[in-house]
Structure 1
Amino acid sequence: MSRMMISLCLLAAAGIATGCGASDPREYGSLSGMVTLQGKPAPAGTVMTMINPDTGAATSAQVRDDGTYTFPRAIVGSYNVGFVAQGSDAAPETDPDRLMDQIAAGQYKAPDSSAIIPEKFRSPDSSGQSVTVDKGENNMDFNL
């Protein structure tokens, strides 16, 4: 291999090792916590949306069965937060035997997701819920 080719290979390797360009100047943090609705975990599958009113940065995550949520990476800043339940996953029957009996009998009716989370909380603009994400780990519970 010629000296020029070796030099080019070394330059390419150095570029790969350093990322070949400017790094992301934004700072990030994680956010986790619990969402409760009238004192009980919010329905599984509820989509939690955060919007930064100054920058327009937005992200969303789903609430798990136990009411917990996690945003593993969010841009540092202040956000307005909204919550929307998703279809029949929004209010599962708590007794699995009863649910199976309802399904077998053709009596199961999917809940109206619009009735599960009060309308006030569905939009980040109207919910009155907000959070500030700082660098590192952040924790915030939301009680609707």
Structure 2
Amino acid sequence: MTLLPSTLSPFAEQNPDEDMADSDNEPSITSALNHVLITTQTGSIALLTPLDEATYRRLSALQTTLSSILEHSAGLNPRAYRSVESEGLGARGIVDGDLITRIYELGAGKRLEVLGRAGAEVWGMRSDLEIIAGEGLGYL
């Protein structure tokens, strides 16, 4: 496992009215966004991104809605695949970024309806997808 800093700031700190010229400012150290790059002996690579509570709730609701609307890959149940046994520790499941990016398979009207059910906005979802997809790791 390797901890990688991101050059993006979290969605809560982004200002939509900010000029592109001012976007070179560094995010504060306390709210810096990081990713965990995981590699295995079999050659697989994974990227985990810690999320704040609001982002997790928004993306988890979106994932739940999408998993009931979209066709499942190879007939697998995505809920059973990501279930977590917490043993009383209060652990939560993982939000699947690949499933959430499949929202673009929906038409514009259906996409807005799904986002409304999940309590998300279009620009917020795009920003969240940019963060969890590792867009801030361009230096690699």
Give me the TM-score of the superposition, normalised by structure 1: 0.21
Q: Please identify which structure carries the higher strand content.
A: 1
The structure that is helix-richer by fraction is 2
- Structure with bigger gyration radius: 1
